[in-house]
Structure 1
Amino acid sequence: MFTSYLKIAWRNLWKQKVFATVNMAGMSIAICAALLLSLTAYHEWSYDNFQENKDHVYQLYRQDNTGKGIRVNKSFSEPMAGVLQKEVPGVKHVSRIGGGDMPVRYKDKNIYLDVEMVDAPFLEMFSFPLQQGNKQTALGNLDQLVLTQNSAKALFNEENPVGKALEVKIGDRWKPFVVSAVTDNIPDNSSITFEALVRFENVEDYSNIRDNWNVSSYPLMVEVAPAVSAAAFGKSLVPITHKYLADLINSLKSMDGVPDKDGELLRINTIALKDIHLSPYSSFGSGLRPFYPWMMLMLACLIIGIACVNFINLSIARSFTRGSEIGLRKALGAMDRQLMLQFWSEAFLLCLVSLIVSLLLAVLLLPYYNATFRHQLSFQLFRNGWIVLGTALGFFLVTLLAGGYPAWKIARVNIIQVLKGKLNLNRSSGVRNGLIVFQFMVAAVLISCTAIIWQQINFIHATPLGYNTTQVISIPADNAPLQSRTAFGNRLATEPSVVSVSGSILNLGIGMDGSSGNWTRGFDHKGGHISTQCMVVDYDYVKTLGLKMVAGRDFSRQYGTDSSGVVINEQLAKQLNEKDPLGATINTGGPVYHVIGVMKDYHFESLHKKIEPLMLTMDAQSRMNYLFVRVNTDHPAAAMAHISAIWKEVNPLAKNTPSFLDENVDRLYREEGRFSRIFMSGAILAISISCMGLFAIAVMVVAQRRREIGIRKVLGASVGSIVVLLSGDFLKLVLIAVLVATPLSWYLMQRWLNGFAFHVEIRWWMFAGVCLLAVVVALATTGLQTIRAALANPAASLKVD
């Protein structure tokens, strides 16, 4: 019997091509968008699910409750690892993690690999299966090295890598290692990635930091016993902070720090491995916020909801053009459930065709979607049975929602009313109007959010950062030897377009190597403890970046004592609390520095954060990880290409491409750019689908009121008054939708903007603009039909059908 219903449904749909096309187009686009967005959400939530110990491995971070708010530090001093292992009950393993791209050579082959330096238990803490070797002994010695399958193949081709000797360039020295194990390739949904592993003790400056509590440089991972909960582990860290970080706590007291609800000024918090990917406090996170996947899912539901609203409205409206069919069926004894099944089968068939079309669209659009939104989705995710089940369940719910309600509504009509010809559209106008309001409310929210995000992004780009971003090229040094950096500087000295050259251990923004970071140092001063960001730089750093000095001077080759000098920013000068900060001494527990200059505050981190204290130091032993070249030319692209060629010539192993600092700054706000594109796409889809439904409803409403329009024209109504009459009903609904959407949009965007220390203010005219846009769209959608109806010959309208 169901087959016969499907046949009848197909015939009815074929007769109503316009209705079927509008509904199918809307549903296909909506299902395609919802499918891609849902896959995105699932992919983000799938990170680190393969880790067997994901519930028992934590990254630690430090939370300082200062008088100006909460300050977060993701790195710890090196002695902390040993303290946790020895003094905290329930701790099974501890590992520090640090490293990056380093040259690796085997015989005559030189390649760059992401070499991460970890502690011996690393492979026991994390589920990276070994193809060769033993987890317990793979990192037992300082000269052992572990490769992934891909990196082993790149170095050794088909040779067995285990036992082979190779060298890794750490700093300016080549160190010998022996391959002890090979792991599987790292899954693409792993927060922690590497191409090679060596022991953490091989860090370049390990001898200087191993017993230094004043330097925090590397993240710390801890595995606890299964019986130890996160809350219990967090409590056990409180005595550790009191014992080993007492100076920091006293400093927070002296700076009028505000204790938390438990009375703690400083707390070591935990992030479970399963939550690292979406945590803003993680060193291995994606930079996305935890609500990002939920936003994807919510947007998918809203788009599907708008399409379902169209389906419901059009199905109910079209049913009243089938009054004779419904009355005849009921008169011949058709039961309500049979009518419901008949009309639902039409909805099911239409949704099924839409699903097939949407899958084809998704396959075609997936590469473009990945490129636009920087995702790495593939339909291999459908190998997961839960995704297939979820998709099937979602499809069933959509057909039930979109087809079930109209079918139920139609089946309940009174046969007497039908046979008397009194069945009309007005009976369902309340539901119809409510659904139209919902559609345009969603569209208005998305448009408002897009406008505010776009304004914030423009604000970010327009805000002066305090340094030159458009003329300075950032070059990842890629562990280049000192002679290569020296040769590079000598070559650039003869280039007329080059103003100055400098270097630093840290980049500004996010470079082409994808890295960013900070280095925190603490010291006691005048009875208090001060925490500051620290950056080791080369000569001409201030000049190259175009920083402004407010007192004193920059580092100079003319002064031999500058190796013990520091240049500080205004924030640090305030914390020193000196009448004249020039000449003030800073004792970091190692070197004693004296202040030679104070520079104007500049945004060395993103606008999400307030400007922190900063000091610049010089150290002849430190390696400059990044080189900065300031150019003055009308052809920046040509200058970039020329300087890149020189760099490649003096450092043939160079892996990463140079970039201008404004490009680095843009990468800090990839999340915001992604939000903007997603909301813009969602808004366009929502408006398009809503307008399709509004257009079809307008056609049917005009058809229902054809006689009324004819009578009004005969009685002398003008074309303008009829257009206003017909359009007014729809405009009222659109205005109601915008009024409902305005406070909701304001609340959502205000919360989002609070994530920035510097942001735009939400103005009333933004919502007024959205209202005007919505009215224009509604008029454009319904205007053609209303004008045609108003211009129609009233004699034709008054004829009896």
Structure 2
Amino acid sequence: MVFNYIKLACRNLWKDRVFTCLNILGLSVAFCVATLLIISSLDELATDQFHEEKDNLYKVYATEQTVKGPKEAISRPIPFAPTLQNEVPGIEKISRHLEMNTLVSDGDKELILDLSYVDQDFLQLFTFPVLKGETDSPLAKKSSVVLTQKSANMLFGTDEVVGKTIMIQKENVKEPFTITAILKDIPHESSMGFHLLLAFDESPNYKENLNAWNSRNHSVYLKLSKGVTTQQFEERTRAFVAKHYKETIDDAKRDGVSVDVNGQYYQFRLFPFAESEFTSFKGGIANVSHTMPYIVLGIAILILFIASVNFINMSVAKSGQRLREIGMRKTLGASQSQLFIQLWVESIFIFTLSLVLGSLLGYGLLGDFQTLFRTEGSFETLLRPQILMMLFVTILLITIIAGGYPALLLSKLGTLKALKGKLEAKAGTQLRNTLIIIQFSIAILLISGTLVLSSQINYLRHKDLGFDKNNVVSFPFNGSLDSYTALNRLRNSLQNEPEVLSITAADNNLGYGRDGSGYTSVSGFDYEGRGLKTHSLVVDYDYIKTLGLELVAGRGFNRAFSTDSLSMVINETMAKEYGKENPLDVTVAIGDSSRYNVIGVVKDYNFRGLKRQVEPITMFMDNSLGYYYAFVQVDPKNAISAYDKIEKAWKDIEPNAPFLGSFLDENIDRTLKKEKVLTTIITSGSIVAIILSCIGLFAISMIMVNQRTKEIGVRKIVGASITGLMKLLLGDFIKLVILAFVIATPVAWWLSYKWLEEYSYKISLNFGFFVVAGLITLVIALLTIGYKTIKAALQNPVESLRTE
């Protein structure tokens, strides 16, 4: 029996091979795109989920009440973690974590690797398995280092290196460290990446800041004891705060700061480490949002839905050709269940073949997809048992709904009606119109989303940031030389190059460079009885000139003034914080009571990206601190030539260090990585959804024309014009588009508004985006159905009536 069903299914599908191919094409494309999008979404959602302790592993942060409202503070001082564990009950394990790049060498071989300073509990908190060497406390001994398989192979060509010694540069001095363990390579799902681990007490300035509570430079992770909740932890830390942050609280009271709902000025909190990639801060509180992967997953579902709708519509469109067959089989004794199974088997056959072809197509496009969407997800992501079960149930539901509805509609038809070969015009009309409205709504939603996202990204990319982002190259000092020596050699090497206009350095980059790093330093101090905070930036001479910053008062740092080592240049926002009519009159005692004078004010510039308002910043020249990044301003007419000369000069200065130079506009683009990927996904999803909708609309136009063939012929005989017939046939579609526009626009506006709320600088959300999306959808719909409609309107009425 089953074999007969399959044989008949193949025969019927081959007989209508044009429609069969269209169905398979549409479904294959849908399965291909949906599969790739699901892989991308699940891969992102899998971030940090491999840690065995993930359900009880947290990152510590603080909410500080300030005059300007609550602010989050993630970095912690060196004595914080051990003191917290000793004084606050309920902490089972805790570890500090400080990440930076460092020079590692074995003989003549030198590499710049990612180094993390951690405590002994780190490898018990996080699931980074030890493959070789010490398993309990590999960092317990002095001068011990732990490597990953990858870093061991990079240095030695093998991972059989336990007991060997490598040289690690610390504060411009190379020190020997003994390899005590080799870790399994860090999985790509990890948000935390490193090549080697050192004990935290080996970190820079550790001894100097061992008891300093006002210097913060690292993150803290902990595991709570069994039965302890995050709320209990927060309550237990209040006595700890009162003891160690008394000065912070007193300053807040003095400045008239309002307490939070619990009466606290400074509150420690936790958020799940496994949600780090999806955590953002608003009002000083951590908020977890999976918007990005869920949008990707939603687009995949929409594409599958549209393909299923098309299948239903195309099946109904061809039903007229099979009515007499069904009537004859009923006359010969076929039951409704047999007819349903036969028609459903045809649907399953098409879906199975489409799924196979779509999967093969997706596998072939996976490499390009990974590059375009910047994901490392693969088909292995789908091989987890729960995912396979979910996909099986999803495909089963799709075949039941998409294939079962046409089968049920035809199998329930009465024998006489089937033998007459006529399917009533009203059959499925309501469902058909509903599906059309949903299709149009999806199209309008995706197109409007694409327009809003593209406009916002274009606005951010071309916004004046207050500095020259087009003609300045930045790169890290990542070699063995100290930054001052490297900077002076760079100046000497490039001083006679006409393409190079200016050279400087600072301890922070603008945007994200090729090394992927970016941070800022915040310091607080008292001024005239008020507590002030500012971002601190250590710069070299010519920083203002090289970056193209605009001075609005005073001057910049100048080699002719020996006192500039005790001077400050501030931005306009910081000048407002001081509250002086003339900010050049400001003198501040900072740190060891040295008095710093403001010598210049620069116009506000976006040094922290475009999601934040401009904040106060103060520039210093401090010879005791090093630089991390060089900045070179080049002649825009010879930018490429200048870049090549900078690269050559750096290779001559640091032959073993890679040159990681990039223009600042590239750095800014990297800060928009998620937005660009999201735009690409929604745009691609829109294109695929529209293509699939066009296939479905073509099928629907065939239904309507087939159902109204006689009516068209009669109307032409009694004098109807072609224009009138076109209006008649297209009028229903236009009404459906308008209804879809009314439904989709509020949803699209709300989603766009919520997304734009994340940005301090954003486009104006106007009605034009959605009108354009509606018009594009209408034009596409009319073009799709226009051919069949025009052909029907031009057809000889005699032929129309004869056909009927």
Contact 1:467-1:545 within 8 A present in 2 as well:
yes
Map 1:178-189 → 2, pairs under 5 A: 178-189=178-189
Report Cα offsets for 1:242-298 as digits up to 9, x if no partner. 33334444555566655443333433221212212322359xxxx995211111211
Which residue of 782, 785, 791 corresponds with 1:782? 785
Contact 1:170 1:479 in 2 (8 A): no
- Whether contact under 8 Å (2:499, 2:635) holds in the other structure is yes
Q: Distance in 2 between matches of 1:416 and 1:260?
A: 76
Pick the aligned partner of 2:569 from 567, 590, 593.
567
2:775 is the counterpart of 1:763: no
Aligned pairs for 1:697-708 within 5 A: 697-708=700-711
1:42 aligns to what? 42
Following the alignment from structure 2 to structure 1, what is the Cα–Cα distance between the partners of residues 423 and 790? 26
1:385 aligns with 2:350: no
> Contact 1:146 / 1:179 at 8 angstroms: preserved in 2?
yes
CA distance in 1, matches of 2:490, 2:204: 23
How many angstroms does 1:100 deviate by?
A: 2.2
Structure 1 residue aligned with 2:522, among 516, 520, 523? 520
1:728 alignment partner, SS class: helix
Map Cα deviations across residues 46-93 of structure 1 (whole Å, 9 max, x no partner).
222221221222112223344544433321222222321211112233
State how 1:494-509 maps to structure 2 within 5 Å: 494-509=496-511
Q: Which moved more, 1:713-722 or 1:603-612?
A: 713-722
Partner of residue 622, structure 1: 625
**Deviation at residue 465 of structure 1 after TM alignment:** 0.5
Shift of 1:127: 1.5
- The aligned residue for residue 317 of structure 1 is 317
Report the counterpart of residue 735 of structure 1 in structure 2: 738
SS at match of 2:55: coil
Tell me whether 474-483 or 417-426 shows the greater mean CA deviation.
417-426
For residues 147 and 210 of structure 2, what CA distance do their matches in structure 1 show? 26
CA contact (8 A) 2:320 2:421 kept: no
- The answer on whether the counterparts of 1:509 and 1:665 sit within 8 Å (CA) in structure 2 is yes
Whichever residue aligns with residue 555 of structure 1, its letter is: F
1:467-506 matches, cutoff 5 A: 467-482=467-482, 483-506=485-508
User: Which amino acid is 1:500 matched to?
Assistant: S
Partner residue, 1:796: 799
What residue is the counterpart of 1:3 in the other structure?
Answer: 3
1:371-520 maps to which residues of 2 (within 5 A)?
371-420=371-420, 423-482=423-482, 483-520=485-522
- Code of the residue aligned with 1:539 in structure 2: it is Y
Aligned partner letter, 2:577:
Q
1:398-439 residue CA offsets vs partner (Å, 9 max, x unmatched): 111211222222222233433455532332211101101101
Equivalent position of 1:632 in the other structure: 635
| CA–CA distance in structure 2, aligned partners of residues 383 and 771 of structure 1 | 40
Say if 1:77 and 1:158 are closer, same or farther in 2 by CA, change over 3 A: closer
Q: Which moved more, 1:521-530 or 1:29-38?
A: 521-530
Q: Residues 256 and 409 of structure 1: is their aligned pair in 2 closer, same or farther, counting only changes over 3 Å?
A: farther
User: In structure 2, what is the equivalent of residue 772 of structure 1?
Assistant: 775
Q: 1:479, 1:223 → 2: CA distance?
A: 37
The alignment partner of 1:605 has SS state of: coil
**In structure 2, distance between residues paired with 1:159 and 1:256:** 59
Separation in structure 2 between the aligned mates of residue 548 and residue 205 of structure 1, nearest angstrom: 35
After superposition, the Cα gap between the structure-2 partners of 1:719 and 1:249, relative to the gap in structure 1 and judged at 3 Å, is farther
Shift of 1:581: 2.9
Check the 8 A contact 1:23/1:311 in 2, yes or no. Answer: yes
Shift in alpha-carbon separation, 1:213–1:12, aligned structure 2, 3 A: same
Q: Deviations over 1:765-785 (max 9, x none)?
A: 111111211111111101111
Contact 1:288 1:671 in 2 (8 A): no
CA distance 1:65–1:436, change in 2 (3 Å): farther
- CA RMSD, Structure 1 to Structure 2 (Å): 2.1
* Range 679-688 or range 708-717, more displaced: 708-717
**Equivalent position of 2:353 in the other structure:** 353
Q: Deviations over 1:285-325 (max 9, x none)?
A: xx995211111211111111111111112222322332212
1:535-589 per-residue CA deviation (whole Å, 9 max, x = no partner) reads 1111111111111222222122222222222222222222223343324233444
Q: For residue 728 of structure 2, what is the aligned residue in structure 1?
A: 725
**Conservation of the 8 A alpha-carbon contact between 1:320 and 1:424:** no
Q: Which moved more, 1:744-753 or 1:147-156?
A: 147-156
User: Does residue 1:659 correspond to 2:662, yes or no?
Assistant: yes
1:678 aligns to what? Answer: 681
Whether 1:126 and 2:129 are equivalent positions in the alignment is no
Contact 2:479 2:656 in 1 (8 A): no
Which has the larger displacement, 403-412 or 185-194? Answer: 403-412
Unaligned runs of 5+ in 2: none
Secondary structure (helix, strand or coil) at the match of 1:768 reads helix
Secondary structure of 2:47's counterpart equals: coil
Give how far 1:208 is off. 4.0
TM-score calculated relative to the size of structure 1: 0.96
**CA pair 421-500 structure 1, distance change in 2 beyond 3 A:** closer
Using the TM superposition, give the Cα deviation of residue 616 of structure 1 relative to its aligned residue in structure 2, in angstroms: 1.2
State the partner residue of 1:230. 230
Mapped partners of 1:57, 1:12: distance in 2:
58
Q: Which runs of 5+ in 1 are unaligned?
A: none
Match of 1:531 in 2: 533
CA separation in 2, counterparts of 1:449 and 1:769? 11
1:151 corresponds in structure 2 to 151
User: 1:60–1:271: 8 Å Cα contact kept in structure 2?
Assistant: yes
1:195 aligns with 2:195: yes
3-state SS of 2:428 partner: helix
1 CA distance for matches of 2:166 and 2:102?
13
In 2, distance between residues paired with 1:546 and 1:206?
A: 37
Q: How far did 1:215 drift?
A: 2.5
Q: Which residue of 2 aligns with 1:544?
A: 546
1:142 and 1:201 in contact (8 A); partners too: no
Distance 1:222 1:561 in 2: 46
- Which letter maps to 2:714? I
Which digits, 9 at most, give the CA deviation of each residue in 1:564-618, with x for residues without a partner? Answer: 2222222222222334332423344445333222222110011111111111112
Amino acid at match of 1:410: L
Query: Which moves more between the two structures, 69-78 or 97-106?
Result: 69-78
Deviates more, 1:501-510 or 1:551-560: 551-560
CA distances 1:472-506 after superposition (whole Å, capped 9, x unpaired): 10011114413333211111222112221111111
Seen in structure 2, the aligned counterparts of structure 1 residues 210 and 467 have a Cα distance that, compared at 3 Å, is farther
SS in 2 for 1:269: strand
Cα pair 1:171 1:479 within 8 Å, conserved: no
Q: Secondary structure at the match of 2:51?
A: coil
Q: Residue type of the partner of 1:72?
A: E
The offset of 1:704, in angstroms, is: 2.4
Deviation at 1:639, TM superposition (A): 1.3
- Aligned pair count reads 797
TM-score, normalised relative to structure 2: 0.95
Q: 1:651 to 1:135 in 2, by over 3 A?
A: same
- 2:653 and 2:621 map into 1 onto residues whose CA distance is 24
Mapped to 1, the partners of 2:592 and 2:494 lie a distance apart of 36
Q: 1:85 to 1:564 in 2, by over 3 A?
A: farther
User: Partner of 2:213: helix, strand, or coil?
Assistant: coil
444-453 vs 133-142, greater mean Cα deviation: 133-142
Task: Write out per-residue CA displacement over residues 632-673 of structure 1, whole angstroms, 9 at most, x where no aligned residue.
Answer: 240212211121111111111222420000100000001110
Alpha-carbon distance in 1 for matches of 2:257, 2:439: 48
Q: Which residue of 1 aligns with 2:342?
A: 342
Identity of paired residues, percent? 37
CA distance in 2 between counterparts of 1:770 and 1:752 reads: 18
1:132 Cα deviation (Å)? 2.0
Does the 8 Å contact 2:230/2:269 carry over to 1? no
Q: Aligned with 1:280: secondary structure?
A: strand
1:425–1:321 Cα change, 3 Å = farther
